[in-house]
A and B are shown apart, each in its own frame.
Chain A
Amino acid sequence: MGLLSSTVSITRYRVQGDLQKPVLETVANGLKKYTIAEIDDDAVEKSVGWTSFEKPYAPDFSGSSFVIGPYLIFSLRIDKKNISPKLVKKQYAIEANRRLTRTGRQFISGSEKKIIQEQVLNLLSLKIPATPNVYDLVWNLENRSLWYYTNLKTANEELESLFSTSFALSLIRMFPYTSAALTADLSDSQKDILERLAPVDFRT
């Protein structure tokens, strides 16, 4: 689900820390360094990285292509190969039988089973293309806010981790406590009350 979709979900973040100057160059370097790596021809099951908002399957961060109006807009892409356990089981059985026939043995040792399992997974990883999931984000440098267009827990965790690695900045999710403590402009006495707050009883 992306920024241009007719229905969207948004997780709101606050960006903590300062970017090294020149700011746009620092962002571009982070995006280029951690651009999504294609894994279709590799025996790798998952890849996570940045991609372009307008061309998610041909990432290009040259120039200031990620700057739109006052915002930085780009996307996080998570490519994952969904290898069915049933398929692994089938390929394992075929390979195990082939070995037993070839060697004339009755059993396969535990360590050999492990090796076959890994070979099967590697082979399937090479054959099965990765399924991409693209999540857009809108970063407002001026007010340090960032909108991430998904509420999925795993996608949020991947964003928080990659953002920190790429730009040396922290992302703080805006849930009730953080919204109150960081963006509600509370006085010191109100912050003290917030720290001690207990649920209210509306029962009549």
Chain B
Amino acid sequence: MLDVAVAYNRYRFLGNEFLTWLWFMIDTRQDQLREFVEGITALEIGNRIDLENRRDDKVERITIKGDDADLKEGYLALRKGALVTDLNLVFRSANFRWQFNIKGESLNISALKTPETAPPENEEDTEAVALEKISLHEQITKLLETAFRRFVHLRTTETWNGATVAQIHQWLSSP
């Protein structure tokens, strides 16, 4: 295995490709997401997408913000070679809703809002609420781990170059 510090920088593109692939899956393969992510009802793009185009020795950054924002500029940036660097997602399971950000280069989770839990009323209650919170957070760490594992398996097989890249091109070419 590579040195951790070297690997962080060398493979930051992999996390950005993952988020870009995830957007493609959300747009075109909800059925597959339901198959491999336990307990999922839907996964949606939330209220923010950050993109970065590092090609041709220039760095161009685009941010799309707001509920129900028009994503056209995002698709256009992808067509020009940008990748998603930060993605806000909404995860739904039955009637419950989670919202959070994933950063491509670190796969860190931030601004994670889970379905509400009752505040602890006494010390004994704190342990029960902590376990409930952990279980709610686990939904998102599991989603991230499962989806990333799926992506990496695709990315390190012939299917990636043979089919997935073409499917993503097709997605981006469609109006």
**Complex Cα spacing A78 to B127, Å:** 23
Do residues A176 and B11 form an inter-chain contact, with CB atoms below 8 A? Answer: yes
Do residues B14 and A9 form an inter-chain contact, with CB atoms below 8 A? Answer: no
Interface residues of B, Cβ cutoff 8 Å to A: 1-2, 4, 7-8, 10-15, 17-18, 20, 55, 78-81, 83, 103-113, 116, 120, 123, 126-127, 129-131, 133-134, 137, 141, 145, 148-149, 152-153, 155-157, 160, 165, 168-169, 172-173
**Complex Cα spacing A4 to B12, Å:** 31
**Complex Cα spacing A161 to B137, Å:** 25
Is A109 an interface residue, CB under 8 A from the partner?
Answer: no
**Complex Cα spacing A10 to B101, Å:** 10
From A180, A201, A202, B152 is in contact (CB under 8 Å) with A180
From A4, A6, A11, A177, B126 is in contact (CB under 8 Å) with A4
Is A142 an interface residue, CB under 8 A from the partner?
Answer: no
Residues of B within 8 A of A107 (CB): none
Interface residues of A, Cβ cutoff 8 Å to B: 3-4, 6-12, 53-54, 68-69, 71, 73, 138, 147, 151, 172-186, 190-191, 193-195, 197, 199-204
Knowing A4-B120, A180-B152, A181-B1, the reply to whether A12 touches B107 (Cβ < 8 A) is: yes
Number of A-B contacts (CB under 8 A): 142
**Complex Cα spacing A64 to B25, Å:** 44
The B interface, classified by DSSP as helix, strand, loop or mixed, is helix
Knowing A4-B126, A69-B131, A202-B20, the reply to whether A10 touches B108 (Cβ < 8 A) is: yes
Residues of B within 8 A of A183 (CB): 145, 149
Residues of A within 8 A of B126 (CB): 4, 54
**Complex Cα spacing A68 to B129, Å:** 11
9 other A-B residue contacts (CB within 8 Å) besides A10-B109, A71-B131, A147-B141? A4-B129, A7-B111, A9-B110, A10-B108, A176-B15, A176-B18, A177-B11, A202-B79, A202-B83
Cβ-closest chain A residue relative to B144: A12
Residues of A within 8 A of B148 (CB): 176, 179-180, 184
